[in-house]
Structure 1
Amino acid sequence: MTNETTSNALLTLAPDAPSYSENPEILYLLLEERIRRYTMGDSTSVPVDTARRLLESILYCLDIQRRADKNALPDSAPMKTRWQAGVDAAKRTAKRAKLLLLQAQRTPPPLSNTAYCDTLTALPAFFAGYDADFFAQEIPCSFDYPLCQPVSDALFGAEYIQDFLRRMLAENAFLRAFSADALLSLYEKYYIDYADLLVNLYLPAAEMATLCALSGAPVRALSLTPEQLASINQKLLSINDAEARQRMEDAADSALFELGLTSDFLCAYTKQAARDLLVRLRATCE
């Protein structure tokens, strides 16, 4: 098989895979080896879908190694060596993600909903079924709790789960700064049925906390009068976009300071929620 033919065959297997600069002949040989290992030496032939998944895993692990281990292995190192380093990196990421899951299980928010509880129940299946050796890019479980700021579509496998849990933990840390009563009162105003709807629990609290800080009201109360909300809206609309954005970011900082929360990640996360709120406020008044 020529180099060009091999390359075309690989592209046929994984047309949506990220572009790569690997030698297609060597990549094809590595794929053949992985197929033999997958079939326990019985065959080098598998269904096209299985071959595609195995190839995607190889490319994904090579990409992980390239991103996570730049100084340890140059691109000139043997492909199998770099692939194995990527597999090892995926396994380490899965172990770190499992620790985050344990932390999430120990530190739930004061109030939760069905989607949140179902997701925490579903996530252990990922660690039971994750196979970095053959399908490192896959997520062998299903969950649907919507984060305020979703995980990037560019992440897969254990990297996706790790980032999902990192974001969930940040949201939980924020929510744990409030009483269950304050959150319940807010949710009942914000959502028709927060317990059973597929809704995020952090978003309304982050938005109201920012608005409370902006108006000088107690952040932990998570409550403003209609008059206070109207006044805030009027002030934000009377200034230019840059100044309004700065005020929202400063208010998010003030809210976190009042709550005693110092995480850089949570700070950036809450500022983004504040900026998104500003966009919606301005859009409703246009």
Structure 2
Amino acid sequence: MVENNFYLELLNNSNLANISNEEKEMMQIKLWTLLGKVTERYTMGDSSSVPVEIAEELLKSITFLLNKEMKNPQSIVKLFESEGLESAWKHSWTTIEKDIAKGKELLEEVIKTSTGIENISYEDTVMEIGNGLKAYDYRFFAHEIPCSIDYQLSNAVSEDLQGIDFINEYLTRLLFENKFCNNFEKEKIIGILNSYCKDYKGLLINIFEPVLTNVIGLDLVEADIFELEMKSYEREVLLYTFKNMTIKEIEEELIKAANNVCNKLKIVNNFEVNYVKITALNLLPRIEEGIKNNNLANIFLSYKIEEDKSEDIFVDNKSMDDERLRKLIDEIRVCRFTSDKITIIHNEVKSLEDLVEILNNCIWEDEVEELVNSLSKEEIEALKYYLNNKLNDNISNTGWEQKFIEVISNF
């Protein structure tokens, strides 16, 4: 005897709370009767030979198909009161055939919009779905997903979805991920993927997520999102910015950046906008951890072969502990020559946060030009961004800010 668990999906719906137990028992009996007829069709007349496991799967399929036909509690009751349960089961084939046709259209669009970036799981999954839609036995096993889906989406499809509903939702999400990535140059995406993992072609990765992550990061530092790569100094600026925010404020900034990105890429569909926002907000736990570790390098990526880092002061995101920073500030303060101060800064300072503290306490207006002349373009850009976005209460003791702006305006 088949267990009762599966019919509860259909009958114990919260919308059916007002239906009496007697009515539910009647509905259960009719469902078992339909299961008998479906089993007889499946075995071509020999229903007594079907294993219990197969009967369970047939009942799951019936439940799935009837749920697609009955959209509200009233229609469910009326259907069970009449003799039309088998007719509804058969009519559901027409409904599901339309869903399969939609799935084939979505698959064609996925193939057309492919980024062309090699990834075994992506290629295998697309092929599997194509074969699965052809082999889909929706009359008896409609609830099953008739293919292996290995390629990971940025936002996974709910496991509550079954059969063609799961496939179509998966393809809808994959199609958007493809379309999003197609806004950017293929070679730049590959550059990011090379940093994301050594074997992006062979591993189970998602192509869209690291692309969107960098796009969000670039928008946050007001850089060109189409560059796709996040430079080390931009990452440092972002870390400094995040450190001066609460988690709630970071969350708000991520949502704001997601909206900005959608505007720039002319993404207006509600589903697609929400997809970008959800993916952006998924970064929050990783950013929290990055702040604790003083390092965002594993989140916002540079190309594998980066510029010579020795040319930059603040590139590795490691801030000093308070005691060491105080000692360094005292050491720089007693230097007689600006050149000696600059030498110590270049040798010791590894983060924007530390650099700003030293400038606030050690570098005076008449020393700024000499310092600026020793900085790389990236370092100047980072300090410029800091000044444009710094908090009003973070005022220096030395007055270096205005002089810095004057000096770089003459470049």
**TM beyond 0.5:** yes
Distance change in 2, residues 1:255/1:74 (3 Å):
same
Equivalent in the alignment of 1:168? 174
Equivalent in the alignment of 2:79? 77
Equivalent in the alignment of 1:58? 62
Distance 2:251 2:159 in 1: 27
Equivalent in the alignment of 1:178? 184
Q: How does 1:144-223 map to 2 (within 5 A)?
A: 144-223=150-229
Contact 2:183 2:265 in 1 (8 A): yes
Larger Rg: 2
Equivalent in the alignment of 1:3? none
Contact 2:144 2:163 in 1 (8 A): yes
Give CA deviations for 1:223-278 in whole Å, capped at 9, x if unaligned: 12212112212322322233211211111121222223333222111111111112
Q: Which deviates further from its counterpart, 102-111 or 192-201?
A: 102-111
Contact 1:32 1:44 in 2 (8 A): no
Alpha-carbon distance, 1:41 to partner: 2.1
Q: How does 1:18-37 map to 2 (within 5 A)?
A: 18=9, 20-21=11-12, 23-37=27-41
Distance 1:255 1:46 in 2: 55
Distance 1:245 1:132 in 2: 43
Amino acid at match of 2:152: P
Equivalent in the alignment of 2:289? 283
Amino acid at match of 1:257: N
Name structure 1 gaps, 5 residues minimum. 1-8
Equivalent in the alignment of 1:5? none
Contact 1:145 1:200 in 2 (8 A): yes
| Residues paired across the two proteins, number | 275
Q: Which has the higher contact order (CA 8 A, sep 6+)?
A: 1
Distance 1:216 1:110 in 2: 29
Equivalent in the alignment of 1:224? 230
Distance change in 2, residues 1:72/1:28 (3 Å):
closer
Distance 1:196 1:101 in 2: 22
Distance 1:276 1:200 in 2: 14
Equivalent in the alignment of 1:11? 3
Give CA deviations for 1:60-94 in whole Å, capped at 9, x if unaligned: 1222223xx44994432243344344443322212
Distance change in 2, residues 1:24/1:73 (3 Å):
closer
Pick from 136, 139, 147 the counterpart of residue 142 of structure 2.
136
Equivalent in the alignment of 1:237? 243
Distance 1:17 1:195 in 2: 44
Equivalent in the alignment of 1:42? 46
Contact 1:109 1:175 in 2 (8 A): yes
Distance 1:167 1:72 in 2: 33
Distance 2:187 2:267 in 1: 20
Give CA deviations for 1:170-228 in whole Å, capped at 9, x if unaligned: 10000000001211111111211211111000000010001111111111111122121
Alpha-carbon distance, 1:110 to partner: 4.2
Equivalent in the alignment of 2:369? none
Amino acid at match of 1:236: F
- 1:247 and 2:238 correspond: no
Distance 1:17 1:228 in 2: 55
Q: Which deviates further from its counterpart, 230-239 or 212-221?
A: 230-239
Runs of 4+ in 1 over 6 A off after TM superposition: none
Distance 2:187 2:286 in 1: 27
Distance change in 2, residues 1:17/1:131 (3 Å):
farther
Provide the secondary structure at the position in 2 that maps to 1:132.
coil
Contact 1:87 1:136 in 2 (8 A): no
Distance change in 2, residues 1:195/1:234 (3 Å):
same
Distance change in 2, residues 1:212/1:100 (3 Å):
same
Provide the secondary structure at the position in 1 that maps to 2:77.
coil
Distance change in 2, residues 1:273/1:51 (3 Å):
same
Give the TM-score taking structure 2 as reference length: 0.63
Q: Which deviates further from its counterpart, 193-202 or 38-47?
A: 38-47
Alpha-carbon RMSD across the aligned residues, in angstroms, is 2.1
Distance 2:47 2:272 in 1: 50
Give the TM-score taking structure 1 as reference length: 0.88
Distance 1:240 1:125 in 2: 49
Equivalent in the alignment of 1:6? none
Provide the secondary structure at the position in 1 that maps to 2:160.
coil
